[in-house]
């Protein structure tokens, strides 16, 4: 995938060119699949939402978002947020359907690749991210881009308009905070 071509198509799509959106879809599909696979890593066995469905739902939300696309990294940052929201909605619907039934929780094996972090439901992770965003929105967004978006440090830096070194520092702090929150939430 050529980043410049993706950015050019995003700008054309922003200008109302539906053909550009249609040309963009196959270019970003594989990367969206990778993001979806990463976002679903650790979900419970038998999860009813498959990666392909997650990609399609997220892309439909992206198509209707009316976002003023800046570039490829911005697109995938927003895609990560959309996937997170789809997973949260799905988890909440699943929990509501099973409420009171003693159904098993939907664990995430490693929240944010933090070794030793206790498993957490996607909705619990969402709650923790919301708490973090309440006092430090930038760290919460970096966590979201890292975990749900699977973006590289350079891509996160571009989306956040920060240096990669700052992203690294913020991410290390956010992971430690997350580890502490998930450990005390039990």
> Among residues 23, 30, 73, which one has the least CA distance to residue 55?
30
Measure the CA–CA gap between 104 and 87, rounded to whole angstroms. 17
Measure the CA–CA gap between 125 and 112, rounded to whole angstroms. 10
How do the pLDDT tens digits run along the chain, 186 residues long?
A: 577 888 899 899 888 888 988 888 888 888 888 888 877 776 666 666 778 888 888 888 887 777 888 888 888 888 888 888 888 887 777 666 554 343 333 233 334 344 333 334 677 777 888 888 888 888 888 888 887 777 788 888 888 888 888 888 888 888 888 877 877 554
| Encoded tokens for 48 | 């009813």
Which pLDDT does position 83 carry in this prediction?
Answer: 86
Burial class (CB in 10 A: 0-12, 13-18, 19+), 144: buried
Give Cα separations from 21 to 61, 75, 110, 178 (angstroms): 13, 12, 34, 36
> Looking at the chain, how many residues does it have?
186
Q: pTM for this structure?
A: 0.56
> Among residues 40, 31, 96, 38, which one has the least CA distance to residue 62?
31
Helix (H) or strand (E) holding 104: none
Measure the CA–CA gap between 119 and 106, rounded to whole angstroms. 9
């Amino acid at each position: 995938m050529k980043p410049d071509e993706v950015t050019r198509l995003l700008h054309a799509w922003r200008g109302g060119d539906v053909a550009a959106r249609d040309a963009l879809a196959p270019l970003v599909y594989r990367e969206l699949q990778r993001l979806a696979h990463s976002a679903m890593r650790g979900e419970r066995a038998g999860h009813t939402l498959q990666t392909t469905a997650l990609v399609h739902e997220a892309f439909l939300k992206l198509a209707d978002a009316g976002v003023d696309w800046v570039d490829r990294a911005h697109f995938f940052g927003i895609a990560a947020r959309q996937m997170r929201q789809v997973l949260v909605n799905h988890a909440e619907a699943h929990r509501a359907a099973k409420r009171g039934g003693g159904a098993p929780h939907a664990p995430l094996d490693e929240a944010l690749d933090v070794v030793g972090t206790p498993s957490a439901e996607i909705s619990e992770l969402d709650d923790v991210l919301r708490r973090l965003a309440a006092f430090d929105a930038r760290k919460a967004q970096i966590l979201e881009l890292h975990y749900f978006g699977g973006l590289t440090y350079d891509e996160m830096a571009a989306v956040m308009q920060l240096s990669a070194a700052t992203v690294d520092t913020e991410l290390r702090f956010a992971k430690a905070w997350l580890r502490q929150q998930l450990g005390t939430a039990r």
